């Protein structure tokens, strides 16, 4: 399960371990009773020179005249926005197809981004992307059908499943935003933070939020935790169970892992803090970072512990420069011990030592599985999470006909749930005919690959990602075959159009990060179970030159790896200096006998030439297209005969 909190909160000096990489200090904002320093919200004493930072309520603009506080433009907009409303509420009522800069910044807090088609020349055709909020990736039957309808009526006719287990709806016009949002809310979904769309909040949530025994809250505020400023930047939380790292637990601001007793009953939680992917090219003071252990809390304390972490970031996260405002920079500056100490003061307790956990695994949940209640679920692979065309039509037919509920996975796939055993065969047949194959018929490279939307709609994209990854994966498969790697072998490939890292490329075994038109940074060294961070290997590699880098890397991995050594572990063990030498000296494969997988498929020249012409239309060769046709045919036949 993954979720995100909207931006918001204060700061402190960020001091990196490398003294050459210093980020300027910033004095943070302070809530009432911050760190149990009891005082009135309106009577703010001037701190002594030994005080670590300015003590001031976020919700109270008054401050000592002797202190100069620097805040980013977005921070000022938030403070003047009447809790993220103004001027967005007014801009949505105008006849213009777009909204102004202030509203553009604020609408992000409501799960929407203003976009325009960057492929178009001349004027800009503005539209909006809407992101839903689906805790645990849960999507009811009614909500799925609603989203499917909205995509056709108000979007670009496609749905996108995101790495945060939500939907993205692209192409919504401004005049339709309220209609789309209200329709989602009415049908048990929400894009608006805090919108209660199914039932009242549980009493334990209300109690934990309102508890101010450790100076965490703004008294008499409609936002007792966020105040007028909210958090300094996006804030991501993931929850999982031991062994299951499908959520990329270490990439989140907070990672929560359920700890159970011998009978499987939840007893408490291990908490990890300080993960994050975003960075800026050629700015070494920005970096991806893995979360690290904070400690263990009993299950009855989890809401208070999470609140204490959020408040620590609110009070100390940087607000002067958004590049450094994620919580990972605060922890990198302070170190985990100091961070834990401050959190404990808001928590009111000491964290217990983290409980020992088994090794992490990546779990795709693809294929057919027992649900545990007598029903089945079926996980379906969706390339880059894009549900379109025949796939979209067939999914709707199946979900509607059998009244199925749905889950979205952190790997952008879809899980159909609550399936009766008698429905398995007909559902399998229909899905296979639409190209939704069982996992054994999907290329292993595709199963773990991810890409962000990038061009043409993302305003931050430098180059292609989603549109380019299908051909990229085919080229990687070709290199695999060329160097003698088996079809069932794979590496985790992730591609983003910019360094923000939305598809988490810095955890990949092979990460491609856009750094120019048709140009990428190559990152190596992640692991298949997403527990190690990758490092930058090469800059400015043109997409058409990629084989010159990948061929020597995969060739030497095939020949020099240890038993069952993953590509990521191999690159880390070899070291980047050695790998760069191998790339620089590469003159192509040594002369060897033809690969044993280069099967003869064509008995006559006419058939080959006809297939070759068809293949060129799809930017493939005849052998590739023939193999795809054969695999698809075999899959449909076997799926249709399965029980």
CATH assignment of the domain containing 496: 3.30.413.10
Task: Specify if 92 maps to a domain.
Answer: yes
Does a structural domain hold residue 592? no
Angle between helical axes of 302-316 and 327-334 (0-180°, round to 10): 80
Three-state SS for 408-477 is ECCCCCEEEEEECHHHHHHHHHHHHHCCCCCHHHCCHHHHHCEECCCCCCCCCCCCCCCCCHHHHHHHHH
- What pLDDT digit, counting tens, does each position of 148-207 carry? 999 999 999 999 999 999 999 999 999 999 999 999 988 875 557 434 444 568 899 999
496 is a domain residue: yes
User: What percentage of the chain has pLDDT greater than the value 70?
Assistant: 85
Q: Cβ–Cβ contacts within 10 Å for residue 585, how many?
A: 8
* 216 and 315 both lie in a single domain: yes
CATH of the domain at 130: 3.90.480.20
Higher pLDDT, 419 or 643: 419
Chosen domain end from 396, 419, 441: 441
Q: Is residue 406 domain-shared with residue 475, that is, in the same domain?
A: no
Judge if 482 and 614 occupy the same domain. no
Lowest mean pLDDT across 38-52, 105-119, 241-255, 509-523: 38-52
Which domain, by its residues, includes 279?
203-347
User: Do 303 and 215 belong together in one domain?
Assistant: yes
Among 119-128, 311-320, 552-561, the range scoring the smallest mean pLDDT is: 119-128
Measured CA to CA, the distance from residue 580 to residue 577 in angstroms comes to: 5
CA distance 598 to 596: 6
Domain count of the chain?
5
In a domain, 631, yes or no: yes
The residue written with tokens 């749930």 in the block is 417
User: Does 457 lie in the same domain as 430?
Assistant: no
User: Quick check: is 194 in a domain?
Assistant: no
What does the H/E/C string look like for 159-173?
EEECCCCCEEEEEEC
Residue matched to tokens 């919700």: 59
* pLDDT confidence tier of residue 6, bands split at 50, 70 and 90: very low
Task: Examine the domain organization and report whether 156 and 225 are in the same domain.
Answer: no
Specify whether 567 is located in the same domain as 615.
no
Q: Which two tokens stand for residue 483?
A: 């160097």
- Condensed to tens digits (0 to 9), the pLDDT of residues 449-470 reads 999 999 999 999 999 999 999 9
Whole-number pLDDT of residue 610: 79
Closest CA to 89 of 9, 172, 177: 177
Number of C-alpha atoms within 13 angstroms, CB side, residue 36? Answer: 10
For residues 74-83, average pLDDT: 96
Do 454 and 393 belong together in one domain? no
How many Å apart are CA 283 and CA 278, to the nearest integer? Answer: 12
Q: Please give the average per-residue pLDDT across 535-552, as a whole number.
A: 97
Both structure tokens of 229: 């400023």
**Residues 500 and 532 reside in one and the same domain:** yes
Q: What is the pLDDT of residue 618?
A: 72
pLDDT digits (tens, 9 = 90+) for 251-273: 999 999 999 999 999 999 999 99
Q: C-alpha distances in angstroms, 532 versus 47, 400, 528, 591?
A: 42, 41, 9, 36
The mean pLDDT value for 429-434 works out to: 94
Q: What is the pLDDT of residue 639?
A: 60
The stretch 585-598 carries a mean pLDDT of 70
pLDDT > 90 in the chain, percent: 77
In a domain, 243, yes or no: yes
Q: What is the pLDDT of residue 448?
A: 96
Dist. CA 408–CA 450, nearest whole Å: 14
Q: What is the biggest distance separating any 2 CA atoms in the chain, rounded to whole angstroms?
A: 90
Per-residue pLDDT at 93 exceeds 90? yes
pLDDT at position 369 over 60: yes
Residue 414 lies in a domain: yes
| Token couple for 23 | 């980020």
Same domain, residue pair 542 and 505: yes
Domain identity same for 450 and 437 = no
Look at residues 441, 460, 479 and tell me which one is the last residue of a structural domain. 441
Rg (CA), the chain: 26
Neighbouring CB atoms inside 10 A of 635's CB total 17
Is residue 593 assigned to a domain?
no
Do 234 and 326 lie in a common domain? yes
């Amino acid at each position: 399960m993954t979720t995100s909190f909207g931006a918001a909160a204060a700061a402190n000096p960020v001091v990196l371990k490398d003294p050459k990489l210093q980020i300027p200090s910033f004095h943070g904002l302070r809530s009432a009773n911050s760190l149990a320093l009891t005082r009135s919200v309106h009577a703010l004493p001037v701190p002594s020179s030994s005080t670590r930072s300015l003590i001031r309520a976020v919700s109270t603009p008054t401050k000592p005249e002797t202190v100069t506080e620097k805040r980013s433009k977005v921070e000022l907009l938030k403070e003047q926005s009447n809790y993220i409303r103004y001027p967005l509420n007014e801009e949505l009522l105008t006849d213009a197809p777009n909204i102004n800069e202030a509203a553009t910044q604020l609408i992000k807090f409501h799960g929407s981004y203003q976009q325009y088609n960057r492929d178009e020349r001349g004027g800009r055709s503005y539209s909006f992307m809407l992101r839903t909020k689906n805790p645990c990736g849960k999507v009811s039957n009614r909500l799925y059908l609603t989203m499917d309808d909205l995509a056709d009526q108000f979007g670009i006719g496609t749905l996108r499943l995101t790495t945060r287990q939500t939907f993205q709806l692209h192409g919504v016009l401004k005049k339709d935003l309220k209609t789309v949002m209200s329709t989602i809310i009415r049908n048990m979904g929400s894009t608006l933070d805090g919108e209660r769309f199914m039932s009242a909040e549980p009493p334990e949530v209300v109690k934990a939020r309102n508890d101010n025994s450790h100076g965490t809250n703004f008294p008499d505020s409609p936002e007792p935790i966020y105040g007028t400023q909210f958090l300094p930047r996006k804030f991501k939380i993931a929850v999982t169970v031991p062994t299951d790292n499908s959520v990329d637990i270490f990439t989140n601001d907070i990672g929560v892992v359920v700890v159970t007793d011998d009978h499987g009953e939840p007893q408490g939680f291990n908490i990890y803090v300080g993960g994050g992917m975003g960075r800026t090219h050629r700015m070494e003071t920005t970096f991806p970072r893995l979360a690290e252990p904070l400690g263990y809390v009993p299950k009855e304390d989890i809401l208070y512990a999470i609140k204490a972490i959020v408040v620590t970031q609110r009070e100390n996260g940087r607000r002067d420069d958004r590049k450094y405002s994620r919580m990972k920079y605060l922890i990198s500056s302070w170190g985990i011990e100091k961070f834990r100490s401050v959190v404990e003061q808001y928590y009111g307790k000491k964290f217990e030592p983290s409980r020992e956990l088994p090794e992490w695994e990546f779990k795709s949940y693809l294929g057919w599985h027992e649900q545990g209640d007598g029903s089945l679920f079926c996980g379906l692979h969706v390339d880059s999470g894009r549900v379109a065309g025949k796939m979209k039509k067939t999914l709707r037919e199946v979900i509607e006909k059998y009244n199925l509920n749905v889950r979205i996975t952190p790997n952008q796939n879809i899980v159909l749930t609550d399936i009766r055993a008698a429905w398995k065969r007909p559902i399998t047949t229909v899905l296979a005919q639409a190209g939704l194959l069982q996992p054994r018929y999907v290329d292993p490279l595709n199963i773990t690959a991810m890409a962000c939307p990038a061009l043409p709609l993302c305003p931050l994209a430098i180059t292609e990602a989603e549109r380019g990854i299908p051909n990229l994966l085919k080229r990687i498969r070709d290199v695999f075959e060329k160097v003698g790697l088996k079809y069932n072998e794979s590496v985790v490939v992730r591609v983003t159009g910019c360094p923000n890292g939305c598809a988490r490329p810095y955890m990949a075994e092979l990460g491609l990060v856009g750094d120019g038109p048709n140009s990428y940074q190559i990152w190596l060294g992640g692991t298949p179970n997403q527990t190690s961070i990758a490092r930058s290997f090469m800059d400015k590699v043109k997409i058409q030159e990629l084989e010159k880098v990948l061929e020597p890397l995969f060739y030497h991995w095939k020949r020099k790896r240890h038993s069952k050594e993953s590509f990521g572990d191999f690159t880390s063990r070899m070291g980047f200096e050695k790998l760069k030498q191998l790339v620089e000296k590469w003159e192509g494969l040594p002369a060897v006998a033809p690969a044993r997988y280069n099967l003869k498929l064509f008995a006559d020249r006419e058939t080959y030439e006809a297939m070759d012409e068809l293949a060129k239309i799809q930017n493939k060769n005849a052998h590739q297209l023939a193999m795809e046709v054969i695999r698809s045919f075999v899959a449909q036949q076997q799926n249709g005969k399965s029980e």
